[in-house]
Amino acid sequence: MSRAPFSFYEFFAGGGMARLGLGEAWTCAFANDFDPVKAATYRANFPDAAAPDLGGHFHEGDVWRLAADGLPGQADLAWASSPCQDFSLAGARAGLAGGRSGAFFGFWRLIEGLSGEARAPRVIVIENVSGLLTSHGGRDFAALGAALAAQGYSFGALEVDAAAFVPQSRPRIFVIATREAVPPGLTGASPFHTRAVKAAAANLPADLAARWVWWRAAAPPPRNTDLAALLEPDADVDWHSAARTARWLELMAPLHRARLEAFRTRGDRAVGAVYRRMRVEEGRRVQRAEARFDGLAGCLRTPRGGSSRQVIVVVEDGGVRTRLLTAREAARLMGLPDSYVLPRAATAALHVAGDGVAAPVVRWLAREILEPLLARAAVLAAE
């Protein structure tokens, strides 16, 4: 069996977190993102990603401007973390037969083109928010399955919360599709066949249900780090004024305030994450600050305003301090090493981190499913 690295295309690559997760056994043949900041971050972290006209593999620009004949060779894997707000395959777009304005359709046009040239990737991974399973009553997910099946792929899904790997609550759906025969050892029960995954599979029409794969993936070892372990030293960060901290406390609902006060009474150090949410109380929409002290940060989001940036709260010696989560801390919550080069501007760095995929989840998927699947296919091809 060949020891050559597996190859992959990375669409909507962002800062290259899927590439980091796949690791050194994988060679990136082509990567794409339209966002200039993300593109610059990708290039800063991967020296081989110079512009294509300079011999590199990274293409900055709209996926709609790409053509299948511009993609090199035949990749083992195509990874696509398409923008979640564009993932509406059914509903107003009437499925894949309807309008094709979203970013996903630009990606899928390339897969169809590669298929027509007998160069379709052997495996496809589509990562998106958990709402993909239930969007438009499940019609979006069924439309995605129909698109995959039309190009000869069998498929299944896992719902994985990055909290199993890093101290951040970040549930995501990973649809894994393959043209290869699936070895029996890669199918079976998994803790990531959540209720939502099982319901989505049960709601598929018979022809798509026949192509469903129950990917087997064991639970990872228990996570051994918490939020506090990833934070900068207290002396190295800027803390809010007492007045600003008081405003955060005023936004808390009684339950969250009581939780904080319990830690204050105990006197020992407690570290939590605070984020803003809109809640309906007595028929009115009210902004609330919600705190969690379970060792996890809330799901990172792209910063489009102060409400989307998480706050760190520290209760110690009867006092309370708050501050903003730093960009480096956000990167650590995505499983990125401190050597990862972030944009200098905090907002840009937080955008790159908050719009990515947690690298340790990708590594786990590669080890549990992608690499065994492709390695088995190579053995069969050699026989």
> Model confidence over 149-161: pLDDT tens digits?
999 999 999 999 9
Sort 293 into a burial class: Cβ within 10 Å, 0-12 / 13-18 / 19+: middle
* HEC-encoded secondary structure of 310-371: CEEEEEECCEEEEEECCHHHHHHHCCCCCCCCCCCCHHHHHHHHHCCCCHHHHHHHHHHHHH
Share of the chain above pLDDT 70, in %: 89
Query: What pLDDT does residue 282 have?
Result: 81
pLDDT value, residue 378: 63
Separation between Cα atoms, residue 213 and residue 373, nearest integer Å: 13
Q: How confident is the model at residue 90 (pLDDT cuts 50, 70, 90)?
A: very low
| Mean pLDDT calculated for residue range 265-276 | 90
Confidence of residue 94 (pLDDT cuts 50, 70, 90): very low
Lowest mean pLDDT among 107-121, 130-144, 321-335, 338-352: 130-144
Question: Measuring CA to CA, how many Å separate 115 from each of 38, 109, 217?
Answer: 29, 10, 28
Q: Which amino acid is present at 334?
A: M
Say what the pTM is: 0.92
Range of 97-111, 190-204, 262-276 with top mean pLDDT: 190-204
Residue 88 pLDDT > 70: no
pLDDT of residue 381: 58
How much is the pLDDT for 174?
97
- Cα separation, 30 vs 23, in Å, equals 15
Whether 5 shows a pLDDT value over 90: the answer reads: no
6-220+355-382 domain in CATH 3.40.50.150?
yes
Long-range pairs of 217-222 with CB within 8 A, sequence gap ≥ 24: 217/158, 217/190, 217/192, 217/364, 217/365, 217/368, 217/369, 218/190, 218/191, 218/368, 219/164, 219/191, 219/192, 220/164, 220/165, 220/364
pLDDT band at 82 (very low <50, low <70, confident <90, very high): confident
Phi, psi of 220 (to 5 degrees): -70, 165
pLDDT at site 47? 86
- 175-202 per-position pLDDT tens digit: 999 998 999 899 999 999 999 999 999 9
Specify the range with the lowest mean pLDDT, choosing from 47-51, 141-145, 209-213, 219-223.
Answer: 47-51
Stretch 227-245: mean pLDDT: 97
Distance, in Å, from the CA atom of 358 to the CA atom of 47, rounded to the nearest integer, reads 21
- Pairing of the two strands 58-60 and 123-129: unpaired
Biggest alpha carbon–alpha carbon distance for the chain? 71
The confidence score (pLDDT) of residue 224 equals 93
What string of H, E and C letters represents the secondary structure of 116-142? HCCCCCCEEEEEEEHHHHCHHHHHHHH
Is the confidence at residue 97, as pLDDT, over 80? no
Exposure string of 235-261, with b = 16+ CB inside 10 Å and e = fewer, is eeeeebeeeebeebbebbbeebeebbe
Residue 379 pLDDT: 61
Mean pLDDT (the chain) is 89
Q: Is 130 exposed, middle or buried (0-12, 13-18, 19+ CB in 10 A)?
A: middle
Q: Assess contact for 211 and 155: CB atoms under 8 A.
A: yes
**Is the pLDDT reported for residue 10 higher than 90?**
yes
The per-residue pLDDT for range 54-69, each reduced to its tens digit, is: 557 899 999 999 999 9
Q: Domain boundaries in the chain?
A: 6-220+355-382, 233-325
pLDDT at 93 over 90: no
- The predicted pLDDT at position 380 comes to 56
pLDDT category at 303 given cuts 50, 70, 90 is low
Specify whether the CB–CB gap between 300 and 168 falls below 8 A: yes
Q: Give the pLDDT score at 304.
A: 60
Task: Give the total residue count for the chain.
Answer: 383
pLDDT of residue 205 exceeding 80: yes
In the predicted model, what is the mean pLDDT of residues 5-31?
95
User: What DSSP designation does 67 have?
Assistant: -
Do residues 293 and 282 touch, judged by C-beta distance below 8 A? no
- Residues 6+ positions from 229 with CB-CB distance below 8 Å: 167
pLDDT at 360 over 50: yes
Per-residue pLDDT, averaged over 121-127, amounts to 97
